Every structure is written in structure tokens, then in C-alpha cells.
Amino acid sequence: MKYLYYQGCSLEGAALEYHLATLGVMNAAGVELIDIEDWSCCGASAAEATSYLLSLALPARNLAIAEKMAGPRDILVPCSACYLNLKKVEEKTREDRKLLDKLNRILSEERLQLQGKIRVRHLLDVVANDLGAEKIQSMVKKSLINLNVAPYYGCQCLRPYAVFDDPEAPRSMERLIEATGAKVYQWKMAAECCGASHMNTKMEVGIELVAHILENARGADAVVTVCPMCQMNLEAHQRKISRRHHEDLSKTILYLPQLLGIAMGISDKELGLDLNLSIDNRFYKKLDKAARQKPKWRAGKQHPKPDPDSAGVRDAAG
């Protein structure tokens, strides 16, 4: 299996471990990922909040570059925000020829052209439907039998385009969690919003949304996410939230491929577990590794950066 791979800005920085774990799991499963050459930012939610046309032109550029490349026609996207932005162009241009022409007038400035031949796929879609739970199960080396894991989907991989799962009652992660030997923690927050960029501009509101999610995760050993924004919101403010709610609401938050990778026996380093902001000792104990120490603090400093040659053209300092 081969896919084009859109890494996205977050996965170069604050969500580097998502990138590492995705590569780790895909590599172990024999899936080849081909970087999109000279990809650029999808615009996130900032482009949409400033200019409608820009919010479509930025992802369109990446799709047009992908079309020019040889090989697979499916782009694998781990970040839900990137996924939605790219998907939006795919969906809108399919029905709206005038919009496609307009975008092509913009893209022609870079001698690019969009024809609509690329299919945008979320990482969860590919893992759940192309690889499948049975394949994952066959690769499990260490059953996570003691763990109770809460699947957290967030919003933008599910809505507004219901592509691979029920947009309000999603279940695609459940079989994957079960494949690792862990139990699925049933909760009502799986498809609720984490507040997205509220955490930067309206922190009080963001904190409340995340607190509600963490409160509902009380009985779980870990929450797994498929989006860098969800991950950051859930893991980065736990101390503040616990203080405000007079209750220890700290929780291990992992990216889905990290959980799968742990069960597959991929090393902590390869999965970037030392880069997570919130993995507590209770989790490691439950992993039946009481003897094992938590990855060293500051270990991230020595972390191997992704190979620059494999990632298309980058800045010298990138």
C-alpha cells in the first residue's frame, strides 16, 4: 500500500510525536508514505476566519502539487484540521465548476492546475478501513489487556463531511482499540468539541470545554486522539483545570498511532512518547511495566528530527 503524505505544520512542531508514531506504525504495517513536495500550510482555521477564497486556495495548492506527482491518488492526512481544509476543496470543487475555475486562476500563478483527481483520507480512515483491525491485531506483540481506553474523535475528521464514520456517534476507533487488547471506555464525549483555538483567544471558554471532557474521562486509563489541536487542548492545561475543579483530573492523552504502536512493540522513542505532555505513571504501571521508568525529562532535545531529505524541499533551518 502506498499513500501520498501531507504532514502539516503542527506535525513538524508541537505534534511531532504524532508524525513519528504515524511513520512508525505505517512502516511496521508495510505502508509506504510519499511526502508531498514543497507542501505549504492548509490555512488552519485562521484562513477561514479572514478570507473565504484564501481558505480554499491554500489547500488547493497542495492538492494540485499532489496531482502532479506520480503514484498513489490518495493523500493520507493525520491532522483533522488539515484534513477538513483539504477535503473541503475536494468536495466543493467536485460540484462547483465555477469555483474550480476560480481556484485554477489563482493556481496558474504557480503554474499549477487542479483537476480533482485526488482523494483526501484521514489517518483514522486509512487505519480503520484500509489496514483494518485484523491487520493491527496480527501485529500486536504486547496485549494491552489491563487498559481502559477512551476514543476521542473531536470534530473535524467527522463533520461536516461524513466520509468514514457516523458524524455524531463514531465507532471506527473502537475495533482498533480492541485489537490492541484494551477495553473501550464508553463515554459521551467522543465526538464533542475541545474548543479548538479558543484556548489561545478565549481561554476561559476553552478550559470549560476541556474540563468537561476530562471529567467524563475519569474512569479511563488513557484518552486517544486523532488531531493535534485536540491533543494539545486535552493535555496541556490539566494542572490548571485540576486546580480549578479541586480534583485531580490529570489523564494520559495519546495519539491513536502511539497506542497502536505500544501494542505492536514499537519503541517509546520511535513513537515519540517522551514528547507527550501528559502521560502519567499510573498509565505506565498499568502497562505492566512498573520497573520501566518514565522517559527522561528533556529527552526531546536529543530526539531525531524527521529526515529532511525525505520530506521534500525544506528551509535550511527547518
Partner 1 sequence: MTTAADKKTGYPTVAAADKLAPIQKMVRPCIQCGTCTGSCPNLFAMDHTPRQLWRLVLTGQKDEIFKSKTFSLCSDCYTCTLRCPRGLPLTEAMDALKQIAVEENLKNYRHSSLFYESFIRSLRRHGRVSEMEIMINYFAGLMSPLAPFRFVSLGIRLMLKGKISARWPRTPRMPLEKIFQKVNELEKHT
Residue 67 or 288 with smaller CB distance to partner 1: 67
Measured at the CA of 311, the angle between CA 310 and CA 313, to 5 degrees, comes to: 115
CA nearest neighbour of 277 among 239, 307, 317:
239
Residue 105 interacts with partner 1 (CB under 8 A)? yes
Give, in order, the Cα–Cα distances in Å from 255 to each of 94, 227, 235, 238: 32, 8, 11, 17
Residue 246 interacts with partner 1 (CB under 8 A)? no
DSSP annotation of 149? E
Helical H segments across the chain, by residue range? 16-28, 44-50, 52-68, 80-95, 97-107, 123-125, 133-139, 172-179, 198-201, 203-216, 228-236, 238-245, 256-264, 268-271, 281-286
Instruction: Please pick, from the candidates 27, 37, 46, 265, the single residue that binds partner 1 as defined by CB under 8 A.
Output: 46
Residue 134 or 168 with smaller CB distance to partner 1: 168
Strand order in 222-225's β-sheet? 183-184, 148-151, 222-225, 252-255
Residue 80 interacts with partner 1 (CB under 8 A)? no
Residue 169 interacts with partner 1 (CB under 8 A)? no
The Cα diameter of the chain in Å comes to 62
The answer to whether 225 touches 260, Cβ cutoff 8 Å, is: no
Residue 13 interacts with partner 1 (CB under 8 A)? yes
Residue 192 interacts with partner 1 (CB under 8 A)? yes
> Cβ of residue 160: shortest distance to partner 1, in angstroms?
4
Instruction: Please pick, from the candidates 4, 22, 34, 43, the single residue that binds partner 1 as defined by CB under 8 A.
Output: 43
Residue 109 interacts with partner 1 (CB under 8 A)? yes
Residue 67 interacts with partner 1 (CB under 8 A)? no
Residue 205 or 290 with smaller CB distance to partner 1: 205
In the complex, the residues that contact partner 1 under the rule CB under 8 A are 9, 12-14, 16, 38-41, 43-54, 57-58, 61, 102, 105-107, 109-110, 155-156, 159-160, 162, 167-168, 192-193, 195-198, 200-205, 208-209, 236-237, 274-275, 277, 297-298, 300-301, 303, 315-318
